[in-house]
Structure formats: structure tokens, C-alpha cells
């Protein structure tokens, strides 16, 4: 069964500090992994996508890593801002060709405080 | 349209009533997904439409739930004889089809409250 587990479940950090969110998955055959940011009351929005051959990808202050051997990904947020407060969801796609099965993690709720 | 549009944004209904939630995906997106998100919980997959293929209904929680997608565009999620545990935000997403590189674009959701 495809599963995506995220940790920690929730996190509180001071504004300006860095943090790292973790994602472990058991998905086969792996296609790609995305990190989404979901603000309260809004739909999720994609931050990064990583395919099998990619180890690191950055999007501004967000840096995602992928270790396909250990089936782990991390999302590192640098110099956090109050607007980073949101849920961060790891989403892994499995399959090939035209059909992809998407599995969502339960998310990490991040709160950045002044 | 510019983004995924969902309606209504909020729906309050009485237990036992039927409800319909609508999703208008981004023009040209062949894949459409419905998810459910209960308060403080992760996204729960409900159903997936891809082009003219038979939909993946594996996530529908009971036979009270059904969805259709007419003309490969607009989709309607119908919940019959609603129960209080159906209360959640129902999110619709669309993508270009196949997720090799395609991103899921989400609507703002329909918040359903069953009294």
C-alpha cells in the first residue's frame, strides 16, 4: 500500500529561524514528489517538484531534497517569515504512462511566531 | 478560467438532505480530482477523472457519494442523505493529465456543514 508519512506533525519556530520538514514514503513505482503549501482556508499550492534523478531543488527560501534510495524527502525553509505559517504537504505520485496515483501525506503544520 | 473554480464556497445542510458540489477545472486540463479534508486532517482522496477513461472511484467512502464529469470539463460531486460525518472541506484539483510533471491546481474548496 502506498503511504506517505510526514514529521513533525506540527512545529512552532521564531521568525527568522530555519526549519526542516521530513517526508518518508513507500510508493511504487515512484514517479515524482511534490511539496505543497496550504494556507488556512485555502487550497494547496505547489512549491517544488522532484523526479527520481533530482537530489535538490530550490524555490526561493524553500529547498527540497530527495533521496530515492532511502525514500525520504525534506523541505528546508530558510529565514522563516510569518507568512510561512501554513501546512506543508508532501505528495508522491506513483505509476507510469498516462495514469498516476497520487498519495498525500497528512502534512506538517508550521507556525512562525514573532 | 484562470483557476479552478468551486461552488458553493459554503454549504450548510440538514442531515438526510442531498447536496451537490461543483468544480470547474482549468480549461484544457484533462485530469480532475476530488479530495475531502476534515478539520485539522490531511487530504483524503475521493475520485479521479482522466480524459475519457473510467474514473478511479476507489476513494469514495460509501455509495452515498457519487461524481460525474460532463463533457470532460465540469464535475459535480453528489452526496446523498448527508450525515454529520460528511462535514468537511471538499477540494477539487485539476492537472494537465498524467502527473509525470503536471502540477495539481486546487480550487478554494467547498465547506460542507451537516447539522
From chain B, pick out residues whose CB is under 8 angstroms from the CB of A111: none
From chain A, pick out residues whose CB is under 8 angstroms from the CB of B33: 102
**Is residue A108 over pLDDT 80?**
yes
pLDDT at A20 (0 to 100): 98
pLDDT digits (tens, 9 = 90+) for A33-63: 999 999 988 899 999 888 888 899 999 999 9
Question: How many other β-carbons are positioned within 10 Å of the β-carbon of residue A56?
Answer: 12
Q: How confident is the model at residue A95 (pLDDT cuts 50, 70, 90)?
A: confident
Contact B100 A107 (CB under 8 A): no
Q: Say if residues A33 and A91 touch (Cβ distance below 8 Å).
A: yes
pLDDT at B99 (0 to 100): 47
Query: What is the rounded distance in angstroms from the CA atom of residue B72 to the CA atom of residue B84?
Result: 31
pLDDT at B98 (0 to 100): 55
Q: How confident is the model at residue A103 (pLDDT cuts 50, 70, 90)?
A: confident
Contact B99 A93 (CB under 8 A): yes
Mean pLDDT of A8-37: 94
From chain A, pick out residues whose CB is under 8 angstroms from the CB of B29: none
pLDDT at A51 (0 to 100): 83
Residue window 75-114, chain B: list those with CB within 8 Å of chain A: 91, 93, 97-101, 103-104, 106-109
DSSP string covering chain A, please?
--EEEEE-SEEEEETT--EEEEEEEE-SSEEEEEEEEE-TTS--EEEEEEETT--EEEETTEEEEEETTTTEEEEEE-S--GGG-EEEEEEEEEEETTEEEEEE---EEEEEE-
Structure-model confidence comparison of residues A41 and A2, the more confident one:
A41
**Is residue A93 over pLDDT 70?**
yes
**Is residue A97 over pLDDT 70?**
no
Contact B35 A104 (CB under 8 A): yes
pLDDT at A84 (0 to 100): 97
Residues of chain B with pLDDT under 50: 99-100
> A21: burial class by Cβ within 10 Å (0-12, 13-18, 19+)?
buried
Residue from A43, A46, A48 whose CB has the most chain B CBs within 10 Å, to mutate: A43
Query: What is the rounded distance in angstroms from the CA atom of residue A54 to the CA atom of residue A66?
Result: 7
Q: How confident is the model at residue A1 (pLDDT cuts 50, 70, 90)?
A: confident
Closest-CA distance, A31 to chain B, in angstroms, reads 6
Q: Which of A41, A95, A106 sits opposite B41 (nearest CB)?
A: A106
Contact A100 B99 (CB under 8 A): yes
Q: Which of A31, A44, A104 sits opposite B99 (nearest CB)?
A: A31
Closest-CA distance, B33 to chain A, in angstroms, reads 10
Amino acid at each position: 500500500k502506498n503511504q506517505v508519512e510526514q514529521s513533525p506533525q506540527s512545529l512552532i519556530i521564531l521568525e527568522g529561524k530555519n526549519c526542516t520538514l521530513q517526508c518518508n514514503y513507500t510508493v511504487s513505482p515512484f514517479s515524482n514528489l511534490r511539496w505543497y503549501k496550504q494556507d488556512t482556508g485555502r487550497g494547496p499550492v505547489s512549491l517544488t517538484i522532484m523526479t527520481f534523478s533530482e537530489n535538490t531543488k530550490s524555490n526561493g527560501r524553500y529547498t527540497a531534497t530527495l533521496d530515492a534510495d532511502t525514500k525520504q524527502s525534506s523541505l528546508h525553509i530558510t529565514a522563516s517569515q510569518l507568512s510561512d505559517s501554513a501546512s506543508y504537504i508532501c505528495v508522491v505520485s506513483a505509476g507510469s504512462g498516462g495514469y498516476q496515483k497520487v498519495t498525500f501525506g497528512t502534512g506538517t503544520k508550521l507556525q512562525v511566531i514573532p | 478560467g484562470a483557476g479552478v473554480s468551486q461552488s458553493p464556497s459554503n454549504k450548510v445542510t440538514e442531515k438526510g438532505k442531498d447536496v451537490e458540489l461543483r468544480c470547474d477545472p482549468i480549461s484544457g486540463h484533462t485530469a480532475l480530482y476530488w479530495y475531502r479534508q476534515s478539520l485539522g486532517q490531511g487530504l483524503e482522496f475521493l475520485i479521479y477523472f482522466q480524459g475519457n477513461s473510467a474514473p478511479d472511484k476507489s476513494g469514495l467512502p460509501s455509495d452515498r457519494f457519487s461524481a460525474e464529469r460532463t463533457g470532460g470539463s465540469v464535475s459535480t460531486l453528489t452526496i446523498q442523505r448527508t450525515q454529520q460525518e460528511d462535514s468537511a472541506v471538499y477540494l477539487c484539483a485539476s492537472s494537465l493529465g498524467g502527473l509525470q510533471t503536471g502540477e495539481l491546481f486546487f480550487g478554494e474548496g467547498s465547506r460542507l456543514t451537516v447539522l
